[in-house]
Amino acid sequence: MNIGIIGLGLMGGSLALSLKKLDFIDKIVGYDHNETHKKDAIELDLVEEIVSFETIKKCDVIFLAIPVNGVIAALQDMQDVEAETTIIDLGSTKEKIVASVPSSIRKNFVAAHPMTGTENFGPKAAIEGLYDNKVVVLCDLEESGATQRKIARKIFKALNMKKYFMGAHDHDRHAAFISHMPHAISYSIANTVLRQENKHNILALAAGGFRSMSRLAKSSPYMWEDVFAQNKENLLEAITLFEKELQNLKEEIQNDEWDKVHQEMAHANKLYDILD
């Protein structure tokens, strides 16, 4: 099985490192519009060869590890792939991507979202084991061809990923709460401090709490601008509900309602009864 990866940053590069260990993978080639990324990917031995977009289309399996708007654009240029080709996107949104797939290649396409990553980006951010024991959401899988479903399941199983299945609409609403809203909040936390006159003195005190809350603010603005735009309505709903929670806590603090403040924090503690 020959693999082509479009996008050689954190997700694509890390995927390549993991795929290289699978005995049913014969060759991994890559494509990226960024010349520096191409050079880094070869130097880091992420892929065996950098090829053209047209050559990538001849691979048995093509992974789209690029920003979500790029996924939509790339799919329009892939309508001449072979019937048995499998195209798997790794985007953080799904509904608009699925809706954009040309009907001629809908059977070729598998919509996937690996729930993994770091705040870093580019080929140098690639790390081995990024996908291991993580969740991958497969959306509207019934619309993919039988061959493509089988191949996607085989690859993600071999990567030791936990597979979940849902519709693209439900995925995007859930992702807004668990991924997209936290990124928006992290950017806002960082900017709140950066816009203070004495930001350097404030940041001199930065410890674990602030670093944890602001870590996602290191994420690529190019990638997350696209995600926010594609999932705008769900993201706005999540932010509105978060604002309501924060306003309630603010009012309780203003009114010295410390019992209520304690109850809110105790209720939040229950989150890790579910996550752990």
Cα separation values, 260 from 6, 243, 245, 252, 256, Å: 51, 17, 13, 7, 9
Count CB neighbours of 227 within 10 A.
25
Mean pLDDT of 24-50: 95
Provide the pLDDT for residue 206. 75
pTM: 0.86
208 has pLDDT over 80? no
Out of 133-142, 193-202, 229-238, which region has the weakest mean confidence (pLDDT)? Answer: 193-202
Provide the pLDDT for residue 210. 86
Q: Are strands 109-115 and 86-89 parallel, antiparallel or unpaired?
A: parallel
Per-residue pLDDT of 56-89, as tens digits, reads 999 999 999 998 999 999 999 999 999 999 999 9
Q: Are strands 86-89 and 162-166 parallel, antiparallel or unpaired?
A: unpaired
Q: Where are the domains of the chain?
A: 2-166, 171-275
Contact 125, 220 (CB under 8 A): no
Fold for the domain defined by 2-166: Rossmann fold (3.40.50)
211 has pLDDT over 90? no
- Please state which of the four CATH numbers 3.40.50.10860, 3.90.1150.10, 1.10.443.10, 1.10.3660.10 is assigned to the domain occupying 171-275: 1.10.3660.10
The more confidently predicted of residues 201 and 146 is: 146
> Chain-wide mean pLDDT for the chain?
94
Structure tokens at 78: 């892939």
Distance in angstroms (rounded) separating the CA atoms of residues 73 and 273? 41
Q: What angle do CA 156, 161, 162 make, to 5 degrees?
A: 115
Cα separation values, 123 from 87, 99, 246, 268, Å: 21, 29, 37, 37
Mean pLDDT of 218-243: 95
Provide the pLDDT for residue 220. 87
Provide the pLDDT for residue 249. 97
